Amino acid sequence: MPDSRDQWGLAADSGQCRLCASSESQRHFWQEVYADSGQQLRRCGYCAGVYLAPGFTEAGLSRFYEERYRQLFPAEVPWLSRDRFFAWRGDRAVARDRLSLIVPTLPPGAHLFEMGSGFGAFLGEAQVLRPDLQLTASEPDQVNREALLGKASVQFSDSLASLEAGSLDAVVAFHVLEHLIDPRGFMEQAARALRADGQLWIEVPDLMADWRTRLFIHPAHLSYFCADTLSRLAQAAGLQVVSCGRHPLESLADNVWLVARRASQRGLSPVAPAEPATVAAVDQWIERVGWDGKDRLKTLLKRMVTRLLGLGLIGELQRWRQHRARTRSDQGTGQ
């Protein structure tokens, strides 16, 4: 582990759950195989949280995204045509779908903050639908964060923690929480930054979705949430959960959708323990995913093909497959 820890910028292994800090009944399942980082997939026996351990140091996480992330996920890298890159990704269409759930609840002139705004599609489409909104965001990728902003005027901030308490009407984070070293810390910051009637929307991959390969687990996602765990984490961070469960949009059905508001009596508390049935259900879901010789061979062949064809072409093929699947789904639903 020392070699992997130094190479990947991993922190010392505390033996504690990333979500609740308990060391109670931390179950080890397997070594992460997507990138062979040396991290282990674990489940907390207290809160039923699932996470990779050890996590990154702050410096190690920054280095991971600067040096490794796009090598591991070539679909995230433009190749030859940026227009085709964004068209096949479908960022704007997904942004409009999410906004359909959020915009109707926002008051006139609402101040909205997006954590991890990526290429800016959500903020760009928000400005089109609601030009009255005040938009703020945090996104470390300064090179690409304005790619899809369009005419939106966005104030970029270093972090949510730097904003004044009670200054926001809305906080959104789509596929961000699972990347963070301290997910609960982000929720606490959101609760602090929201006005009394402000709301938080979070979207994360659903641990209980129908994933069938251990390649679902990888170093970019440090934590894995089911609806029950996410809900209890939000409550502990000083939020009142409005709803938390399967995503209301069929196109995003493999994700958990959390809606929460700042609790009227805001205060922090320990994460509530999971019911034994929840812990058992999480264990059974993870245990069903095996890893045999066929899986190892497929992974080896994929790496060989990537080296042969190059990251650019592989990423292009992945985006094309995703675009084709999304187009067929839209045709099937008459969209």
Cα separation of 119 and 175, whole Å? 13
Q: Sheet harboring 134-138: ordered strands across?
A: 154-156, 134-138, 111-115, 168-174, 194-205, 255-262, 239-246
Burial of 325 (0-12, 13-18, 19+ CB in 10 A): exposed
> CA-to-CA distance for 49 and 268, rounded, in angstroms?
18
Q: Where do the domains of the chain lie? A: 2-75, 90-287
**Residue numbers of the chain with a pLDDT score lower than 70:** 1-3, 332-335
Half-sphere CA count of 155, side-chain side, radius 13 A: 12
Strand 50-53 vs strand 40-43: parallel, antiparallel, or unpaired?
Answer: antiparallel
| pLDDT score at 1 | 44
- pLDDT score, position 10: 97
**158 to each of 58, 138, 166, 317, 318, how far by Cα in Å?**
14, 6, 18, 34, 32
pLDDT tens track for 129-149: 999 999 999 999 999 999 999
Q: Please tell me the predicted confidence (pLDDT) of residue 334.
A: 62
pLDDT confidence of residue 294: 94
DSSP line for 153-186: -EEE-S-GGGSPTT-EEEEEEES-GGG-S-HHHH
Model's pTM, two decimal places?
0.94
**What pLDDT was estimated at residue 3?**
60
- Amino acid letter, 119: F
With the C-alpha atoms ordered 295, 324, 256, 109, is the resulting torsion angle positive or negative?
Answer: positive
Domain 90-287, architecture per CATH: 3-Layer(aba) Sandwich (3.40)
What is the pLDDT at residue 55? 96
pLDDT at 328: 83
Spatial distance between the Cα atoms of 263 and 172, rounded to a whole number of angstroms:
17
